[in-house]
Each structure stands twice: as C-alpha cells, then as structure tokens.
Amino acid sequence: MPKRTDTRARMLATAGDLLHRQGYTATGLNQILEESRAPKGSLYFHFPGGKEELMSLALERASESLTEMIERVLAAAPSPEHALDAITAYFAGQLESSQFTKGCPLATVALEQAATSDALHRVCSATYGRWQAAIAARLERDGHARERAESLAGFLLATIEGALLLCRAHRSTEPLLRASAELRRTLKGTP
Amino acid sequence: MPKRTDTRARMLATAGDLLHRQGYTATGLNQILEESRAPKGSLYFHFPGGKEELMSLALERASESLTEMIERVLAAAPSPEHALDAITAYFAGQLESSQFTKGCPLATVALEQAATSDALHRVCSATYGRWQAAIAARLERDGHARERAESLAGFLLATIEGALLLCRAHRSTEPLLRASAELRRTLKGTP
C-alpha cells in the first residue's frame, strides 16, 4: 500500500514544518491536509488520536533528523568548540534563510503545549534530554568528569536555546553568534 | 470617566496574563472580553487597531512590572551574583506556583509572532533590550569594561531565557537552578 504510506509520511512532514515555523496553536488540521494534499478523511484513518497524535509524531520525526545531525557533529568534530561552531553556523543559516521563522523546531511547541499536553511534553522533554546527553558524552570524552559534563551540557543547551529565542525576537543572528563566542570561552576555561 | 478606564485596564491586565500563560495564538478576543467582564463593543472602542494593538500594549504593560523588578534587583543587590540568585528564585517560584505555565512573559509571544508581526517584534525586542542593558549596566558598575559587560549581559540573558524554556519543557525547575549555578561560576571567573 505505497499510497497510504505516502500520504501519512507527507502529512507528518508537512505538520513538522508548520510546527517549526508557526507552533502548535496556529497549525490547523485543514492547513496540514491541504499542504500535504491529503484527502479529508485521512486524518483519523492515519492518526486515530487526532491532532495531538499527529503533532506528537510529527514533532518527534522532525526533531529526529536534527538530533542525528547534532550527535554526528558532536561525535566527529575535532573538539567541542568545533562542534559548537558547526551547530551555531547551522542555526544561524536556518534563521537567516527562513527570515527568522525557524529557530529550534521544538521551542514554540514546548512553550505552547508542554505544561498542558502530556504527549507533547514527553516528546519535547525526551528530545532536549537526548541533545543534552549527546553534549555531555562529548564533554566527558574530552576529559570532563561525568557530573561536570552533565552540568555544562545543560548550560550549553540552555544558552543556545535562549540565544535562538532572542534571535527570533530581535530578527538578528547576533545573540546566537555572541552567546556562542561566550560559550567558547567557557569551554576553554573549564578543563 | 472612571468606568471606561477601568474596562481598558482590566482588558490589558487579562490579556497580559493570558499571553503569559498561553501565548498569542491561543488567546482569543472573546476570552479576553469574558475574563475581563468587558462589554462586546469595547474592543474597537478602546483598541482601534484590534487584536494586535491590544496584545502589543498588554505585553508591554505586563513586561513593564517585570522590567522594573529586574532593574531594581540589579541596582540594589550587593553583587551581580546576588541579583542572579534573586531573579532565579523569582522565576523558579513562578514556574512552580503556575504548574509550569508561566516562564518568561515574552517568550511564547516572541516565538509565535516576532517574525511576522512588526508591533509584537518591537515590544519583544525593546523589552529584551532593556533587560540586557540593565544587566550590562550592573556588570559595568562592578568593574567590567563596557564591551565585555554588554557581551556577558547578552550571554546571561540568553542562558536564563533558554533555561526557563527547558524548565517548561521538562516541567522542572532543575534546568534553571543548574544554569544559574553555572552562570555564577562564569561571573566569578571573569572579573
């Protein structure tokens, strides 16, 4: 049944992109159906749990490729500072090419929904947890004690997330570039 | 005309609280009118620019009291670290008492609207700018050169904003408490 699978995959991809750009609340089911060219009846056929199920899966799917990129960069970079530079460049490019509509793909949904939707809270919390664990693993590999690596990783993640938010608020990549430069100092200063 | 003024002030206060908890998109005009017990016709009477005008003013008003608190704490605290502790405690208390529905009052709106609404972009950008300037002024007073104080202030603000976001995603104050401890180290290590 290749067609059914195609429709489902298209709906997830479209929903993921819309969640990234405009968040959960502004993303209506009709918009997803239209933009993914899916027939009206297909929502509950593919996603019996309705909007929350479709959105949770779409968010999970959308963040999966970013998680893989982050893990790959952290594993392959010659140093944590190089990984930080690569991740900074990635997000700065995405912010600019999207006219500041695309920062972190989870952030808007997390702020809109994590306090009230258990399903979306679980996706956001698990994904941020994986990113933090990937950073911590790299820092540990470079000689930081486990507890120190964990704490520093949470700090790096918070700073990058906040900087991405400020970039969108100011419509400028400056907050990210400056925060990244400060994080480089932190990484150098804490062996 | 005390009654007119009351209605307008109530609408702004209600809108500000709703924006803080649920963001821009989820906050409908009917909900604002109902919760502020304002008559149906009052929206365009008090806010000829409609939803965007009401919301921009409400956001400005709501962030004003937080800005004053931040400026007061930064000016009065015996050290930047003390100010950081006070601000951390304030936000941790608010997150917990609101069941993680209330973090930064601007953040959800910034992510939802700053890329597309010029009015909301201006409020968010100006307010974050004031917070950063207040932090920078305090750091300069404590001996940091101006450029260094500016950069550190942006870094502190980004880290706190990101930590507040992660707290909401995880439904835990841990990211804020740990990020704040890391910022303390940063402040101590960079005289």
Q: What average pLDDT does chain B have?
A: 94
Chain A residues within 8 A of B88 when measuring between CB atoms: none
The reported pLDDT for the residue numbered B3 is 61
Smallest CA–CA distance, residue A6 to chain B, in Å, is: 30
Residue B139 reports pLDDT greater than 50: yes
Instruction: List the Cα angle A141/A146/A149 in 5-degree steps.
Output: 75
Task: For B9-51, write each residue's pLDDT tens digit.
Answer: 999 999 999 999 999 999 999 999 999 999 988 899 999 999 9
The reported pLDDT for the residue numbered A1 is 47
Q: What average pLDDT does chain A have?
A: 94
Please check whether residue A186 touches B, CB under 8 A.
yes
- The answer to whether residue B41 sits within a structural domain is no
Mean pLDDT of A76-97: 97
Residue A9 reports pLDDT greater than 60: yes
- Decide: A32 and A14 in contact? Cβ < 8 Å: yes
Task: Specify the DSSP element, H or E, that contains B103.
Answer: none
Per cent of chain A over pLDDT 90 is 92
Residue A2 reports pLDDT greater than 70: no
Per cent of chain A over pLDDT 70 is 97
Domain coverage including residue A66 = 56-189
- Residues near A57 by beta carbon (within 8 Å), at least 6 away in sequence: A12, A47
Q: Which residues 101-160 in chain B show a CB within 8 A of chain A? A: 101, 103, 106-108, 110-112, 114-116, 121, 124-125, 128-129, 151-152, 154-155, 157-160
Tell me which of A111 and A40 has the higher pLDDT. A111
Task: For B42-59, write each residue's pLDDT tens digit.
Answer: 899 999 999 999 999 999
Smallest CA–CA distance, residue B3 to chain A, in Å, is: 34
Residue B189 reports pLDDT greater than 90: no
From the list B125, B151, B159, the residue facing A159 with the nearest CB is: B159
User: SS3 of B163, please?
Assistant: helix
Residue B75 reports pLDDT greater than 70: yes
In this structure, is the dihedral angle defined by the CA atoms of residues A57, A62, A64 and A67, taken in order, positive or negative? Answer: negative
Mean pLDDT of A90-114: 97
- The answer to whether residue A162 sits within a structural domain is yes
Task: For B97-113, write each residue's pLDDT tens digit.
Answer: 999 999 999 999 999 99
From the list B112, B168, B183, the residue facing A23 with the nearest CB is: B112
- The answer to whether residue B34 sits within a structural domain is no
**A121, A171, A172, A182: best to mutate for the B interface, most B CBs within 10 A:** A182
Write down the ipTM of this complex.
0.95
- The answer to whether residue A158 sits within a structural domain is yes
Length of chain B: 191
**A122, A124, A144, A155: best to mutate for the B interface, most B CBs within 10 A:** A155
Assign B1 a pLDDT band (cuts: 50, 70, 90).
Answer: very low
Q: What share of chain A is helix, strand, coil (3-state, %, to 5)?
A: 80, 0, 20
The reported pLDDT for the residue numbered A87 is 97
- The answer to whether residue B153 sits within a structural domain is yes
Place of tokens 């993914």: A36
Per cent of chain B over pLDDT 90 is 92
The reported pLDDT for the residue numbered A189 is 77
Mean pLDDT of A71-75: 96
Task: For A122-172, write each residue's pLDDT tens digit.
Answer: 999 999 999 999 999 999 999 999 999 999 999 999 999 999 999 999 999
The reported pLDDT for the residue numbered A142 is 93
Tell me which of A43 and B4 has the higher pLDDT. A43
Residue A63 reports pLDDT greater than 60: yes
- Decide: B59 and B109 in contact? Cβ < 8 Å: yes
Assign A191 a pLDDT band (cuts: 50, 70, 90).
Answer: very low
Mean pLDDT of A15-25: 95
- The answer to whether residue B162 sits within a structural domain is yes
In this structure, is the dihedral angle defined by the CA atoms of residues A23, B122, B160 and A138, taken in order, positive or negative? Answer: positive
Chain A residues within 8 A of B179 when measuring between CB atoms: 154-155, 158-159
The reported pLDDT for the residue numbered A41 is 85
Number of folded domains that form chain B: 1
Smallest CA–CA distance, residue B92 to chain A, in Å, is: 15
Assign A40 a pLDDT band (cuts: 50, 70, 90).
Answer: confident
Task: For A166-176, write each residue's pLDDT tens digit.
Answer: 999 999 999 99
- The answer to whether residue A173 sits within a structural domain is yes
CA distance A142 to A20: 33
The reported pLDDT for the residue numbered B191 is 43
- The answer to whether residue A105 sits within a structural domain is yes
**B22, B31, B100, B112: best to mutate for the A interface, most A CBs within 10 A:** B112
**Residue A75's CATH number:** 1.10.357.10
